[in-house]
Structure 1
Amino acid sequence: MTIVQPNDLQNTPSTALQDLPLLEVRSISKFYGARRGCENVSFDLYPGEVLAIVGESGSGKSTLLNCISTRMLPTSGLVNYRMRDGSVQDVCHMQEADKRFLMRTDWGFVHQNSADGLRMTVSAGANVGERLMAVGHRHYGSIRSTATDWLEQVEISEDRIDDQPRDFSGGMRQRLQIARNLVTGPRLVFMDEPTGGLDVSVQARLLDLLRNLVSNLGLAAIVVTHDLAVARLLSHRMIVMKDGHVIEEGLTDRVLDDPQAPYTQLLISSILQV
């Protein structure tokens, strides 16, 4: 598997940095006028850790994800990110150019609707290659070779490299979006309902692929989902949200097997056990 890094970034953080939080979320709140999106949410995320944010529709989980990933400015609170050199920056108040650079290098974002994360009228190879070019790569042969490698890693045949995403199935589009995000070796990936809208068999295949990639690459990830089976399969820890508040949090297996909050108990009892 070829992961291409921009020239001025190291591929692997030092051992010392591995013991420090990669992301520190402090008292994040977002209000839409009088309506609460999320309120007073805090947590740490460590390198290589996967956190699931779960809850029913309207619980505030997507609002929280958008605030953390700088896609939306929170009403209050801080999101501190530890850069590769060990410095910590409040990403909510970064300059726009710095945010864009972060999203092209250290971060990835997998959308529920793959069309939001892909350019639908250019080829699959160009979708992957575009992110490489954004971090300074210009050699056509090298870009195409790396794109081919990544398409194979996400189970897209090499002979589809010149096809456009609009000719792909929903599952193939999601796998292409994953390749586009991971090709530059990010340390943190945000996923918003990554299996939403897919058939059950396609979901299972995509989840297996995601779990293997996240584990093999040592990625940290924040996954928003209403599907507790997705949370169990992918995450180490989970946060349960309701009406914009965190109701319960802890190790995924503990929360799912021994929920403490009445709302979490109700949420788990309303679905088939995984």
Structure 2
Amino acid sequence: MTDPTLLTARGLSLSFGAIPALRDVDVDLWPGEMLAVVGESGSGKTTLLNVLSGRLAPDSGIVRYRDPQDRLHDVHAMPAPALRTLHRSDWGFVHQDPRQNLRMAVSAGGNVGERLMAQGARHYGDIRATALDWLSQVEIDADRTDDLPRTFSGGMLQRLQIARTLVTHPRLVFMDEPTGGLDVSVQARLLDLIRSLVARLRIAAVLVTHDIAVARLLAQRIAVMQRGRIVETGLTDQVLDDPRHPYTQLLVSSVLTV
């Protein structure tokens, strides 16, 4: 890859009391690339995602982000207002539970429009038109625009969260088990939607998932975590088709034998 990295992490370590959650973790992410972080529950996947996104500070190590002006920023040294602005503009976050990212007392269209307004949009007609367009892109009917999210199914809530997150065309999105807890048929539809939108918008993403099939479908590269360490990383198909680390072999074989 010739482009400079968009996000780089070196030597990330973090413990919760006597329990190490991250152990000397390095990460590189390039523009337009999706990196999947896989592993069992308790392996450190979500902790890593929260540290990379500045939501959680490491005990040691550094995370650097390259902005559109090619300036490098130490994510954990940024003032809180600057980090909040980054999350509203260049970055996005898709939670497993969309309720964490939606305002349940605000209409579907209002949820999408709020992120535009946070970036300075003020023309009501333009905001509503953009919200309608994005609801259409995530397969939510226009006649649901003024409905409250609490009237939506789980799959619709997740699609609404994706519309709210992507409406400002972020350069980098963090995804924490975005299809977790959904029925298989709903998962398949949502995965197709995520894959097409991320590819079309050329968004870089860090995806946390316990589902190897999801990682294979969405990600160009994969990082396998065990007990707070990345034990294997590389091109997704290469790692999954020819795993070298015993833990990766165990993960892959467990899928094949289900």
TM-score w.r.t. structure 1 length?
Answer: 0.92
Letter in 2 for 1:24: T
- The structural deviation recorded for 1:216 is 0.4
**Cα distance in 2, alignment partners of residues 42 and 216 from structure 1:** 28
Secondary structure of 2:5's aligned partner: coil
Question: Shift of residue 273 of structure 1?
Answer: 7.6
Query: How far apart are the structure 1 equivalents of 2:55 and 2:39?
Result: 20
Which of residues 61, 83, 86 is equivalent to 1:77?
A: 61
Per the alignment, residue 41 of structure 1 pairs with 25
- Aligned residue for 2:255, secondary structure, equals coil
* Structure 1 residue 18 displacement after superposition: 7.0
Q: Which residue of 1 aligns with 2:245?
A: 261
Q: For 2:111 and 2:131, locate their aligned partners in 1 and report how far apart those are by CA, in whole Å.
A: 9
Give the secondary structure class of the aligned counterpart of 1:72: coil
Q: Distance in 2 between matches of 1:172 and 1:142?
A: 23
C-alpha deviations, 1:125-162, integer Å up to 9, x for none?
11000000101011111100000000000000011000
**Equivalent in the alignment of 1:239:** 223
Alignment of 1:152-191 (within 5 A): 152-191=136-175
Name the counterpart of 1:12: none
TM-score (structure 2 length as normaliser): 0.98
- Give CA-to-partner distance per residue, 1:243-270, whole Å, 9 cap, x none: 1011111100011100000110011101
**Amino acid of the residue matched to residue 131 of structure 1?**
R
Matches of 1:244 and 1:43 in 2, distance apart? 13
Task: Find 1:131's aligned residue among 99, 104, 115.
Answer: 115
For 2:190, which of 182, 206, 219 is the aligned residue?
206
Equivalent residue runs for 1:210-225 within 5 Å: 210-225=194-209
Deviations 1:179-231 (A, max 9, x none): 00001110000000000000000000000000000100000000000000000
Please state whether the residue corresponding to 1:74 is helix, strand or coil. coil
User: How does 1:4-83 map onto structure 2 within 5 Å?
Assistant: 19-83=3-67
| Cα distance in 1, alignment partners of residues 2 and 209 from structure 2 | 26
- Return the alpha-carbon distance in structure 2 between the equivalents of residues 44 and 229 of structure 1: 22
Match of 1:230 among 214, 235, 238: 214
The alpha-carbon deviation at position 272 of structure 1 amounts to 3.3
Report the AA paired with residue 52 of structure 2.
I
Can you give the 5+ residue segments of structure 1 that lack an aligned partner in the other structure? 1-16
Counterparts of 1:18 and 1:206 in 2: how far apart (Å)? 31
DSSP-derived class of the 1:270 partner: helix
Q: Deviations over 1:58-85 (max 9, x none)?
A: 0000000000001111111111000111
Q: Counterpart of 1:224 in 2: which secondary structure?
A: strand
SS in 2 for 1:253: helix
Q: Distance in 2 between matches of 1:195 and 1:272?
A: 20
- What amino acid maps onto 1:233 in structure 2? L
- Percent identical: 64
Which consecutive segments of 4 or more residues in structure 1 shift more than 6 A?
A: none
Residues 18 and 46 of structure 1 are in contact (CA less than 8 Å); yes or no, is this contact kept in structure 2?
no
What is the rounded CA distance, in whole Å, between the counterparts of 1:262 and 1:87 in structure 2?
A: 39
Q: Distance in 2 between matches of 1:162 and 1:49?
A: 34
> Using the alignment, how far apart are the partners of 1:28 and 1:220 within structure 2?
21
Residue in 1 aligned with 2:127? 143
Change (3 A) 1:18 1:181: farther
Aligned partners of 1:73 and 1:126: how far apart in 2?
Answer: 32
Secondary structure at 2:43's aligned position in 1?
Answer: coil
Pair 1:90-2:74 in alignment = yes
Structure 2 stretches lacking a partner, 5+ long: none
Amino acid aligned to 1:90: D
Pairwise CA RMSD:
1.3
SS at match of 2:69: coil
The residue aligned with 2:254 is: 270
Query: What displacement does 1:30 show?
Result: 1.2
- What SS does the aligned partner of 2:170 have? coil
